[in-house]
Amino acid sequence: MTTILFNPDITDEERRTRLYSGQVLVYGASPASLALVEHARDLIADAFGSRDPQTAQHDMQVEDFAALLAELKPKFIHHSESKKRISALLASFGCDLDRTYFDVPRMRTSTSDDYLAAGISYAFHAHRDTWYSAPFSQLNWWIPIYPVVPENVMAFHPQYWGNPVRNGSRRYNYYEWNRTSRLSAAQYIKTDTRDQPKPEEPVQLEPQVRVVPEAGGVMLFSGNQLHSTVPNTSGRTRFSIDFRTVNIDDVIARREAPNFDSECTGTSIRDFLRASDFERIDEGVALEYEGLMPTDG
Ligand SMILES: [Fe+2]
């Protein structure tokens, strides 16, 4: 069974519990989510100038488009306003800002008709974020920047909640990946040769669930959910924001989604910043999460 809740009137704790059990939650646009979207639109407008960013792919050389994104995306990721507006969004959702940590927000694009599906605009095959060293309590927040349609969103493959998929995560070490592969994303235009954890058996992509929130709407799901980028046939480039959160009490207590099939090593937990002051997670907590005992003294 796949359960999707719309605008549920529940506490943050109940929300986390539902997400760890594989439910998906969707919220309408709110002043706080629209403030984040506005900020993203401003940066996009600066980058694209007089072009409509959603259709610019049709009259730009793909190399130029990739170069534009390679400058725009890090700007959004590292902009201080991005962090501030996410913190405000989390507060508006009733998250305890002292116990909630987020990683820097990404701006994602999905171009239409395979224009650019590698590197800086990677079209994600079916995966769980937990194959990429995400903590099992990680929650994903996904927000369209402009209106989206079923032909350019993302898909869930809910029959794999509770069912393992043979996958390449055993070859994935987060620290190794950061050292070697990440910085080079923009150089991949036609194909992406980086060894990412992929399914190693045929995945039934149908039935699938596509949620289509309004622009500024917020979709929340567990990072353990099997999901993929939909092949974009809409004629428009999709722009979305996503970021991830963990609740530190859940990290410590291992209140989290169950592990079905992830075998990667390393953890992305040190990437998360406390929503109240952007401090990193305590190293003792990170080490314990990693399965190592902190050393005395
Ligand atoms: Fe993902």
Q: What predicted TM-score, i.e. pTM, was given to this entire model?
A: 0.94
DSSP state of 296: P
d(CA 129, ligand 1 centre) in Å = 5
Q: Find the 243 Cα to ligand 1 centroid distance in Å.
A: 10
- State how far the Cα of 168 lies from the Cα of 165, in Å rounded to an integer: 10
**What is the full per-residue pLDDT of the chain (297 aa) written as tens digits?**
789 999 999 999 999 999 999 999 999 999 999 999 999 999 999 999 999 999 999 999 999 999 999 999 999 999 999 999 999 999 999 999 999 999 999 999 999 999 998 777 777 799 999 999 999 999 999 999 999 999 999 999 999 999 999 999 999 999 988 888 765 666 666 666 677 899 999 999 999 999 999 999 999 999 999 999 999 999 999 999 999 999 999 999 999 999 999 999 999 999 999 999 999 999 999 999 988 654 443
Question: What's the one-letter identity of residue 195?
Answer: D
Spacing, Cα 50 to ligand 1 middle (Å): 32
Residue 128 C-alpha to ligand 1 middle, in angstroms?
6
* Distance of CA 296 from the midpoint of ligand 1 (Å): 36
d(CA 270, CA 281): 6
Q: How far is the CA of 291 from the centre of ligand 1 (A)?
A: 24
Write out the DSSP string of 202-250: -----S-EE--PPTT-EEEEETTS-EEEPP--SSS-EEEEEEEEEEHHH
CA dihedral 5, 19, 273, 67 (to 10 degrees): -70
